[in-house]
């Protein structure tokens, strides 16, 4: 395979809280290759969004990236100055957020917000930036983009706002797109439209995508490889099809089993006892220890390292499920 475009090594993002420091992302490493979609899936608080924000260096006080490296095309962006990082953000790498209503500025027109970065990154004059902006709006399937360009976020529907945000993210031809739950706030039929759009644009522009969601169905349909996170750590990473067919981590297996599967109706759903522990209650060993039915004493004290079980399939568990 070719060299990875994104290479994350031992990333650790720490938030200082009243109860002491808490590692939202705890020693996470992964690669994404050119043109590939890596899905990151997990429940609330598993660190999937903080991982994406760390990649864009958007972590604010009281949080900070406390360790690790993030290589983008071989360059460690954690070492860049804030000024240099601004050129990367929105230029080389772009992000789509979950809630377009809060991510867009309500007092500026859509066009103004797209312009801003086109003028900054592509150094185009206003009239050309406007042309480019309208072109982007039409690329993402917004009808009559010329008129929409001057509207404000509240005048658009949820689906259209999400499209506008995608247009904004893609306006400077990023090589890497981070999509943080881009369809969670949308209805299923609109979700299908947006996923189709992202897929189509990815092919057309040969982008590398990191796609974050809690929806196993969406991840299963859109990503080439999938990483499962729990308690700020990577549980498992594999080719998507392999992960869903042969989950090796007990958490992955339980997560898949707890979701009603369309067309395979069963009387009872598999459940995971208890709930995700609060950050300061995470056990010192495996974060899943207190909810795991396979856990032994060893899991309580020692953190299982991410180990390869098959080519391209790694799992962090002392007692992985075998199939």
In the complex, the residues that contact other proteins under the rule CB under 8 A are 37, 43-44, 157-160, 187-193, 195-196, 199, 214-218, 220-224, 240-241, 244-245, 254-263, 265-272, 275-276
Using CB atoms within 10 Å of the CB of residue 266, give its burial: 0 to 12 exposed, 13 to 18 middle, 19+ buried: exposed
- Smallest gap from Cβ 214 to other proteins, in A, equals 7
Nearer to other proteins, 109 or 199 (CB): 199
Nearer to other proteins, 39 or 68 (CB): 39
- Smallest gap from Cβ 91 to other proteins, in A, equals 27
Query: Distance (Å, rounded) from C-alpha 120 to C-alpha 92?
Result: 13
Nearer to other proteins, 75 or 261 (CB): 261
- Smallest gap from Cβ 286 to other proteins, in A, equals 16
Return phi, psi of residue 261, to 5°: -95, 130
Torsion of CA 140, 144, 149, 154, to 10 degrees: -90
| CB half-sphere exposure, 97, CA atoms < 13 A | 14
- Smallest gap from Cβ 277 to other proteins, in A, equals 10
Using CB atoms within 10 Å of the CB of residue 207, give its burial: 0 to 12 exposed, 13 to 18 middle, 19+ buried: buried
H/E stretch holding 68 reads strand 63-72
**Tokens 């185009």, located at residue:** 124
Q: Where are the beta strands (DSSP E) in 131-207?
A: 176-180
* Tokens matching residue 132: 């480019």
Nearer to other proteins, 123 or 293 (CB): 293
- Smallest gap from Cβ 244 to other proteins, in A, equals 4
- Smallest gap from Cβ 195 to other proteins, in A, equals 5
Query: Distance (Å, rounded) from C-alpha 3 to C-alpha 34?
Result: 8
Nearer to other proteins, 81 or 189 (CB): 189
Nearer to other proteins, 158 or 283 (CB): 158
């Amino acid at each position: 395979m070719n060299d990875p475009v994104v290479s994350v090594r031992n990333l650790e993002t720490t938030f200082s809280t009243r109860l002491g420091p808490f590692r939202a992302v705890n020693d996470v490493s992964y690669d994404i290759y050119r043109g590939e979609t890596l899905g990151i899936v997990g429940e609330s608080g598993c660190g999937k969004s903080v991982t994406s924000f760390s990649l864009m260096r958007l972590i604010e006080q009281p949080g900070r990236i406390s360790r690790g490296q993030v290589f983008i095309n071989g360059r460690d962006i954690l070492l860049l100055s804030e000024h240099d990082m601004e050129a990367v953000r929105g230029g080389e790498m772009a992000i789509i957020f979950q809630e377009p209503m809060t991510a867009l500025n309500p007092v500026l027109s859509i066009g103004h917000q797209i312009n801003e970065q086109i003028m900054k990154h592509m150094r185009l004059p206003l009239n050309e930036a406007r042309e480019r902006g309208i072109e982007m709006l039409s690329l993402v399937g917004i009808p009559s983009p010329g008129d929409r360009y001057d509207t404000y976020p509240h005048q658009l529907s949820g689906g259209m706002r999400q499209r506008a945000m995608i247009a904004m993210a893609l306006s400077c031809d990023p090589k890497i797109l981070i999509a943080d739950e881009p369809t969670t706030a949308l209805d299923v039929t609109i979700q299908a439209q947006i996923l189709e759009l992202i897929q189509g644009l990815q092919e057309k522009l040969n982008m590398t995508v990191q796609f974050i969601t809690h929806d196993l169905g969406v991840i299963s349909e859109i990503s080439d490889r999938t990483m499962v996170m729990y308690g700020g750590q990577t549980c498992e990473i594999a080719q998507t099809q392999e992960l869903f067919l042969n989950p090796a981590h007990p958490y992955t297996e339980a997560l898949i089993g707890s979701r009603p599967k369309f067309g395979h109706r069963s009387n009872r759903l598999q459940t995971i006892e208890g709930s995700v522990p609060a950050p300061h209650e995470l056990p010192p060993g495996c974060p899943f220890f207190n909810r795991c039915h396979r856990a032994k004493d060893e899991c309580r004290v020692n953190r299982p390292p991410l180990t390869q079980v098959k080519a391209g399939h790694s799992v962090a568990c002392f007692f992985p499920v075998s199939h």
